[in-house]
Structure 1
Amino acid sequence: MRWVWIGLVLSVAACTATPPPPPLPTVSTTVNAVLPPVPSGDWQTFNRTNQREGVQPDLVSTGPLSSAWHTKLDGAVYGQPLIVGDRVLAATQGDTIYSLDAATGKIQWQTRLGTPMPRKGLPCGDIDPVGITGAMAYDRFTGRVYAVAETAGGSHTLVGLDLDTGTVEVRASVDPPRGDTTAYLQAGALTVTDGRVFIPYGGLTGDCGNYVGTVMAIRTDGTDAHSYTVPTRRKGGFDGPAGGVMDNSRLLYATGGGSSTGGQYDDSDAVVALAVDKLNRIDIFTPPAWADDNANNLDLGATNPVMLGSHVAVTGNRGITYVLDQSDLSHVTSQLNTCPSQGSAVALDNMLVIPCATPRAFLCDNAGQLTPLWTAPVAAAGSPTAGGDAVWVVDPAGGILYALAMATGAVRGQVQIGPTPRYASASLSKDHAYVGTMDGVAAVASA
């Protein structure tokens, strides 16, 4: 499907209580095989694909919005719900994973992975308790859904559950190798590719304690774990909700501010490209004002890069959007003062929508130059997604889901869904949107 927008010329190229013991793996892992496209209506990982496009091409044209169902679960749902066939998969801060009927919200199965970490046992933070925070990922090779659960004591465990039954088939420790495990928060989305699960780690709200930004890689059978750690003394976390952005045989991540505020650069406040096979850094973009970014919390770490054709765009707390050359991240094609941004942007064709206090859209030409298109008339700081000729965005404070006209940003529809986590965003399928809330999952009918 191609988007058709009246009045716009878009010919420009886009820039249960006790966890079971870990059994032996029951499904083989296939590496380097080519998968067919994501099935129609599915949303199998954060923003639908490993490229984090955030676009559902099969969503019907947006009509009046109405609440379809709201299923209360045992805790807040911070990660985007997944959609696989007729299932909506959600993970909670209660350390429970649920499979819900997409049409009715009825619970099909639920698996509790342990006791979540209470806030009083952490050095800082604003989530209580901490269970599963980062978005899960479904792997079509193994038929498993993968998640990372934090449990009492601060340990982090990768689990792989059978899609049909919720049975735990894989369980492996994935604590970062440096620092204090209780100072880490696994908030970024998981990526499953090439027979491995990639797990980004950052810090708690408040940036306290001894942690260093880390990406773990582990086989889908729970073996052969290794990691990449930002070469800074402290901080430099991978906190963006989208996690890694797949770009051929590498993953792009944004890092947060590190301990250096001048002198020797420490690879913090950056966009880094990590090779999928060895997890080594092979390319990097560093904002010119990195030292001031680090000193004043103006870094890139709470956002994610996004692919814009042959370009990569990234925006952070400083409020500058950098457009980078995909083949050489150090080459800045253009930059524009846009808005302070946290969360994940969405790109489709040559249009970029940035999460801001009020969402903003820009056009990108084939030279990588940005032109403002619209600013939404409503406050909605959640991460946007797109489909059905609309941009979908959540106002977490007001508990409202908006559908904005793609060409103008005008409000086409809105519906109350209840309070949501800060970076909440809608997963889209057929004629519904699904959003994680502070007490479960809300489904909205769009036609």
Structure 2
Amino acid sequence: MIRTVHRLRLAGIPLAALGLIAWSAPAQAPAPADHAGHPAAITAGSGAWTVYHHDNAHTGYDSTQPAASGATTGWVSPTLDGSVYAEPLVFNGIVYTATLQGTVYAINQSDGTIAWSKNVGVPHPVGSGQCGNINPLGILGTPVIDTAANRIYVSEILNSDSAWHVFGIDLSSHLVVMDTQIPSSVGTGLDWTIEQQRGALGLANGYVYVPFGGRIGDCGPYHGWVIGVPTNGSTSVTFYESPTTAEGIWAPGGVVVDDSTGNPFFATGNAIPCSGSVNSDSVIRTAPTLGAATSFFQPQDWSAHWCGPDLDLGSISPVLISPSLMFTTGKYGQGFLLNPANLGGTNGQLFPSGAPYTGADVCVGVHSNASFGSVAYANGRLYLTCEGNGVVSLSVNTSTPSFSTCDSSCTAAGTWRTSGVGTVGPPIVAGGAVWAVSTTGAGLYGFNATTGAQIFHSANFGANRFSTPSEAGGQIFVGAGNVIRSFNMASGCSSVSLSAAPPSSTTAGSPVTLTANATGPSCVSPEYRFWVRPAAGSWTMLRDYSTTSTFSWTTTTPPGSYFLGVHARTGGSTAPFEVFASIPYTLTSTVCTAVTLTAAPASPQMSKTQVTLTASGTCPSPNPRYEFWARWQGYTTWQLLQGYSASATYNWNSTGAGAGTEYFGVWVVDANSPAPVPATPSPSCCFDANTSIPFSVTTASCASVTASAVPNTVVSGSGTHVTITGAATGCTNANPRYEFWMRPASSSTWQLVQGYSTSATYDWNSTGALAGTVYFGVWTKDTASPNTYDAVANTTVTVT
């Protein structure tokens, strides 16, 4: 039978733009299905939220946070690959979410960047002729995190085999380490074409509990199911199957577990048909291994007011107040307190009285499609969403037991309700406030948990049906269409600003003064903690909390783009932070990237020329330092000419340099360079940049010389004078110089007879010369030559 379309109103709502992003991060494109990344260095909010509505009792309550006075808008994640219906989960600084495309995303809690993602497979689409308004049939129910095994469990029906699976993904390796197929042959048969996995997964007793119900339109003879999938990888599943057709277990809250007994609890929808049904519109308790109900509760008027008009008790998951007290309600808008140890059967509630039975209104007297999702409980108060009427809070007397009611006036003592809010998803409680997401595009609301006074309302944004926020470390996380949005509870300081001096950029190695200023209605003696993050890296703490609002950052990090951040909180607060802010910052280079070297006059030059070597560095600072080196011809090592100084020139006197090639080098360091300057200069250390140039030296010389003697024969004892003449050719300069040598006939040794002079002749008096051959040598060199001689020639005189 086709029933009312109110059973699962799950159509997506377009995402509205949200204003401020308080913690800046580089823009990112939509994430791919499998995304490798890195964990955030900041765990910006310790805390954890590892199961739907915080704990196995589904209280939706985090008791660790200080009282919140409001909230500020945080980051928005990159666009994900599909719509998010599941409640975000949080563990070890990572926010986990899942999409209808079958992808699990791990998002850094600190800044909303994606740490990694894993797609478990292509989900099955809704087939032609099948009912339902969720397509594809990806991950719809909220996953659950196994903190002991370090896994997250999700459920999806794969397109490849048309079977439901439970996947376990390792949170360290990001790999699927468990893949258990739920056999369609369980019970009377689990028909995927008419079933939907909407409720949150549960985890206890070595099982992942997976609830199933029908789809909108109630097509086919579906049943309500809870499948117990062993976490040890065994394929032997356990199950609960509703005894009558329909009775879907579809509430977003899924399965509740009593940690004191291990017993699971869940609520069923209406049977089809109502007549003769068993456990229609009931709260069911089973053994940890599931199987048939070991106890149940059913309203006295279940057939007339719940089943007949399709007003499921199973539109909400029960909340376990204590091992001896449970609350539930549903579409008909009346509530019940139950004893989990003995649910009491039909009309077996603890409150209201069963004899005579009068229903207890909880949703402004509305008796049609009144409440959906899940109920929160904290400090003696229940918090439930009422369709079109925002949030209603009821006070609970756990001793009597009883609760305050909310009829059409909703003015009973101990009760409060919101007004002008419209429809919201299931609420949670943290920081003394109730947080609920509008499912009509109005954003996130916060209310004082005791009085119901509104303390926060974000800018508008869209969220899917039954969207449930989560909280960890003072941050609230909301699945909003195909993104996750974060908000930061303000419990003292409501805003903080951050500035830097010098602003926006400086050279690496220079100090930067960060100044923060936190404000708020109760921001007393604020404390500040400062952070830095490379544009493509992780956050690193610069200084832990202190009441000093400034910090001098010595920029020893490499040049590049960075983000500077600050956390702030009220003095004495134990919260990880109350507000935060960040700004982009750029560090420019502190090293010279290049250096050139020129010589004036340019190579080649004659020996004795004064040469000026000039260096020019490409450096960020105006006064780099230079060091000059030389490698002389014939040597393999470099010699220091002039140590590091601000002088960009070195003057070389080439006097004494022989003809050939000399090499000159220069090193440069920026004035702010981190390169060390050694006490003793070394050619292997240290510089930002270096270069060298060759320099050719030429020398003045004579190419050749001839020698002649006139006369060249004399008689011994005659005293004849002989003129020895040298004639140099190919000299660089005029007036070459000559030096004359003689080797007597009786000697093997040359004797200098006339030193270098411009005279080209030597007059030899042969008196006393012995008979024989006398040798004369002529050395010549250019007047500017550095050589001992440039050319040599010999001639002889015969003595008879």
Alignment TM-score > 0.5, same fold: yes
Partner amino acid, structure 2, of 1:328:
N
Aligned to 1:371: 404
Shift of 1:422: 1.1
Contact residue 204 and residue 262 of structure 2 kept, 8 A: no
Within 5 Å, which residues of 2 pair with 1:39-438? 41-71=47-77, 72-121=79-128, 123-152=130-159, 154-176=162-184, 177=186, 178-223=189-234, 224-232=236-244, 234-247=245-258, 248-262=261-275, 264-292=276-304, 293-309=306-322, 310-330=324-344, 331-335=348-352, 336-339=360-363, 340-357=370-387, 358-365=390-397, 366-372=399-405, 373-377=415-419, 378-416=421-459, 418-438=461-481
CA gap 1:66/1:82 in 2 versus in 1, 3 angstroms: same
Partner amino acid, structure 2, of 1:283:
S
Partner amino acid, structure 2, of 1:363:
S
Contact residue 196 and residue 215 of structure 2 kept, 8 A: yes
Partner amino acid, structure 2, of 1:376:
T
Q: Deviations over 1:104-156 (max 9, x none)?
A: 11111111112222235461111222200011111122111100012326421
SS of equivalent residue, structure 1 residue 333: coil
CA gap 1:40/1:368 in 2 versus in 1, 3 angstroms: farther
In 2: Cα distance, 1:205 partner to 1:321 partner? 24
Shift of 1:399: 4.0
In 2: Cα distance, 1:192 partner to 1:416 partner? 35
In 2: Cα distance, 1:437 partner to 1:278 partner? 34
In 1: Cα distance, 2:70 partner to 2:302 partner? 45
In 1: Cα distance, 2:317 partner to 2:335 partner? 11
Identity %: 28
Contact residue 384 and residue 392 of structure 1 kept, 8 A: yes
Contact residue 155 and residue 182 of structure 1 kept, 8 A: no
In 1: Cα distance, 2:383 partner to 2:131 partner? 32
Partner amino acid, structure 1, of 2:434:
V
Contact residue 426 and residue 433 of structure 1 kept, 8 A: yes
SS of equivalent residue, structure 2 residue 308: helix
Partner amino acid, structure 1, of 2:98:
A
In 2: Cα distance, 1:45 partner to 1:255 partner? 21
Q: Deviations over 1:259-293 (max 9, x none)?
A: 2322x232121000011035331100011222232
Note the residue ranges of structure 2 that are not aligned, 5 or more in a row: 1-31, 35-44, 353-359, 364-369, 406-414, 491-800
In 1: Cα distance, 2:425 partner to 2:84 partner? 14
Shift of 1:411: 0.9
Shift of 1:308: 2.5
Q: Deviations over 1:155-204 (max 9, x none)?
A: 21100001123210000112553242121111111111121111111111
Q: Deviations over 1:13-53 (max 9, x none)?
A: xxx879xxxxxxxxxxxxxxxxxxxx961001111111111
Q: How many residues align?
A: 410
CA gap 1:61/1:344 in 2 versus in 1, 3 angstroms: same
In 2: Cα distance, 1:272 partner to 1:99 partner? 34
Contact residue 300 and residue 315 of structure 1 kept, 8 A: yes
Contact residue 228 and residue 289 of structure 2 kept, 8 A: no
SS of equivalent residue, structure 1 residue 66: strand
Partner amino acid, structure 2, of 1:334:
F
CA gap 1:87/1:230 in 2 versus in 1, 3 angstroms: same
Q: Which of 1 and 2 has greater Rg?
A: 2
Contact residue 60 and residue 430 of structure 1 kept, 8 A: no
Using CA pairs under 8 Å that are at least 6 residues apart, name the structure with larger relative contact order, 1 or 2.
Answer: 1
In the superposition, the TM-score normalised over structure 2's length comes to: 0.50
Contact residue 175 and residue 181 of structure 1 kept, 8 A: no
Q: Deviations over 1:385-414 (max 9, x none)?
A: 001010011111124111111111121001
In 2: Cα distance, 1:269 partner to 1:250 partner? 19
Greater CA drift, 322-331 or 437-446: 322-331
In 1: Cα distance, 2:418 partner to 2:59 partner? 20
Aligned to 1:31: none
Greater CA drift, 90-99 or 349-358: 349-358
Shift of 1:59: 2.6
Contact residue 318 and residue 328 of structure 2 kept, 8 A: yes
CA gap 1:122/1:44 in 2 versus in 1, 3 angstroms: farther
Q: Deviations over 1:54-108 (max 9, x none)?
A: 1111234324423211112011111111100110010101110010100111111
SS of equivalent residue, structure 1 residue 291: helix
SS of equivalent residue, structure 1 residue 258: coil
In 2: Cα distance, 1:116 partner to 1:179 partner? 17
Partner amino acid, structure 2, of 1:209:
G
